[in-house]
Amino acid sequence: MSAAGPAAAIASAVRAGDRSAISAVEESLAAIDAAGELGAFNAVTAEAALARAGAIDRAVEAGEDPGPLAGVPVALKDNICTRGVPTTCSSRILEGWVPPYDATVVDLLGAAGAVIVGKTNMDEFAMGSSTENSAFGPTRNPCDPERVPGGSSGGSAAAVAGGLTPLALASDTGGSIRQPASLCGVVGMKPTYGRVSRYGLVAFASSLDQIGPMASTVGDAALLYSAIAGHDPLDSTSIPEPAGDLTGALAGDVDGLRVGVVSELCGDGIDGDVRARLDAAATALASAGAQVGEVSVPAAVFGLSAYFLIAPAEASSNLARYDGVRYGLRVPAPGAVDMNVATRTAGFGDEVKRRIMLGTFALSAGYYDAYYGKAQKVRTLVVRDFAAAYERFDVLLAPTSPTVAFRFGERTANPLAMYLSDVCTVASNLAGHPAISVPFGSGSDGLPVGVQVLAPALGEHVMFRAAAALERLLTGAQAPEGATEPVEAKP
Ligand code: GLN
């Protein structure tokens, strides 16, 4: 089996009565407290977490099973609605807004016995790749506090990487789970579109958004994914089938697995260090018996341009609801329109305003066909090119981020430079496919590098199988019965 991660270890100890949920939660709260300078959390819900942990301990004492995540502290990205707990999206415009309901994933975490300990920092409305766009100040990368944790889910990635919580939930519209996971040296996974309910996730670009897990091991990520995946009638885009069972995926070997390295995502703009780790991953998989080859996904090179039209277009519509009437901030002014303008001017940060303008332009009469319409056609090409690639390969391999973690301020002056951080991740969102970033050693400066495993729609099982194998190949962990021996693939 894949080495049991810290979340799995806590859950099994709590279920067996060997450890109290309270002690696990206290440990997490103390770590969060001690790491305040990371800026990972917007809010810590200590009192509610301890009360919940106490209830779990009483359930265990009464002979009940609290579930597969019993007593495991979990951090939630602050765009996931929590009843009675402010949900800010790291934006001034939501200041003071307290959701009257829980997201479906929050209900599911509760049903699995998890304990939510707080809400994590993020780029405002999940727009960004460094968490520098938070209205509450940036999050620091636990691997090097002078560098960004990536984004937009920098707080969730830092919480896991810094050992503050064993698990975190985040959202991925164009890479926001995978890229920060890569930059912080943790596992981050975007499920197939529709696999995890979006009910209660504050909408950024509804056709791309997915909630997914972050963890320090592939096994823990699979555990969290299994707890939140499945049909939800409250989300009309939810897949109306139960999520597939992952049993066996983590122990499966890669002998005979067909792995395609995406040539378009490995060329210009990819740092040598990142390329070297990708090559090491491909070599390791091949030594373990996988059939590794190169594959072309021609439309992938246009993915970024299409994404930066489609996502802002949807955002410009989704964010129209922040009008000073229904949610959060209201800046008083004489007349409704003036109030609306004053509220949005004061409440949104620069990047959010840029996206709203970009999206409104792309959708405007006269430009719609040239921009939004064309981007949708590119999206279709991306889907077709992936389909062709999956005729020959079971999974695809690509870098997650073109670079390791960068320094604060390095990309803020040039939006295009920031957008290029997403070049390897957006294609999966456009296609609606699952993808996972697995740490695979580090670059010459010691900073973590993640490798991305992509799979076709509903291909989570084979994706986790390849990811778990990669993790074992890197760490030299014992392969499961019948699987191939680990090979030399050290960082
Ligand atoms: N970095 C990308 C953006 O700025 C992706 C964000 C996301 O996945 N939420 O849009």
Q: Decide: residue 490, CB within 10 A, 0-12 exposed, 13-18 middle, 19+ buried.
A: exposed
- Spatial contact of 224 and 7, defined as CB atoms under 8 Å apart: yes
Higher pLDDT: 1 or 191? It is 191
Atom number in ligand 1 closest to CA 129:
1
Q: How many A from CA of 25 to the centre of ligand 1?
A: 31
476 pLDDT band, cuts 50/70/90, is: confident
pLDDT at 491 over 50: no
Q: Which of 204, 106, 121 minimizes the C-alpha distance to 162?
A: 121
Does residue 220 belong to any structural domain of this protein? yes
Contacts for 403 with CB less than 8 Å, ≥ 6 apart: 271, 274, 421
Instruction: Give the per-residue pLDDT at 3.
Output: 53
Does residue 434 belong to any structural domain of this protein? yes
Does residue 332 belong to any structural domain of this protein? no
Task: For 356-380, write each residue's pLDDT tens digit.
Answer: 999 999 999 999 999 999 999 999 9
139 lines ligand 1 (CB under 6 A): no
Does residue 411 belong to any structural domain of this protein? yes
Q: How many A from CA of 24 to the centre of ligand 1?
A: 32
Residue 276's domain comprises 6-300+377-475
Q: Which of 312, 318, 345 minimizes the C-alpha distance to 128?
A: 312
User: Residue 106 has which token pair?
Assistant: 């929050």
Number of domains in the chain: 1
Instruction: Give the per-residue pLDDT at 368.
Output: 93
- Spatial contact of 236 and 201, defined as CB atoms under 8 Å apart: no
Which residues face 170 on adjacent strands?
A: 212
Instruction: Give the per-residue pLDDT at 482.
Output: 39
User: Residue 96 has which token pair?
Assistant: 């003071």
What predicted TM-score, i.e. pTM, was given to this entire model? 0.96
Does residue 286 belong to any structural domain of this protein? yes
In this structure, which residue's CA is closest to atom 4 in ligand 1?
128
375 lines ligand 1 (CB under 6 A): no
264 lines ligand 1 (CB under 6 A): no
In this structure, which residue's CA is closest to atom 5 in ligand 1?
174
Task: For 39-76, write each residue's pLDDT tens digit.
Answer: 999 999 999 999 999 999 999 999 999 999 999 999 99
Q: What secondary structure letter does DSSP report for 92?
A: G
Looking up residue 215, the CATH number of its domain turns out to be: 3.90.1300.10
DSSP 286-325: HHTT-EEEEE--GGGGGHHHHHHHHHHHHHHHHGGG-SSS
Does residue 350 belong to any structural domain of this protein? no
pLDDT at 2 over 50: no
Q: How many A from CA of 107 to the centre of ligand 1?
A: 25
- The Cα 152–Cα 140 span in angstroms is 13
Higher pLDDT: 245 or 285? It is 285
Coil vs helix vs strand at 122: coil
Does residue 126 belong to any structural domain of this protein? yes
Q: How many A from CA of 261 to the centre of ligand 1?
A: 24
- Spatial contact of 286 and 318, defined as CB atoms under 8 Å apart: no
221 pLDDT band, cuts 50/70/90, is: very high
Q: What does the mean pLDDT of the chain come to?
A: 95
- Spatial contact of 250 and 468, defined as CB atoms under 8 Å apart: yes
Task: For 140-195, write each residue's pLDDT tens digit.
Answer: 999 999 999 999 999 999 999 999 999 999 999 999 999 999 999 999 999 999 99
Q: Which of 192, 202, 200 minimizes the C-alpha distance to 104?
A: 200
Atom number in ligand 1 closest to CA 426:
5
Does residue 218 belong to any structural domain of this protein? yes
248 pLDDT band, cuts 50/70/90, is: confident
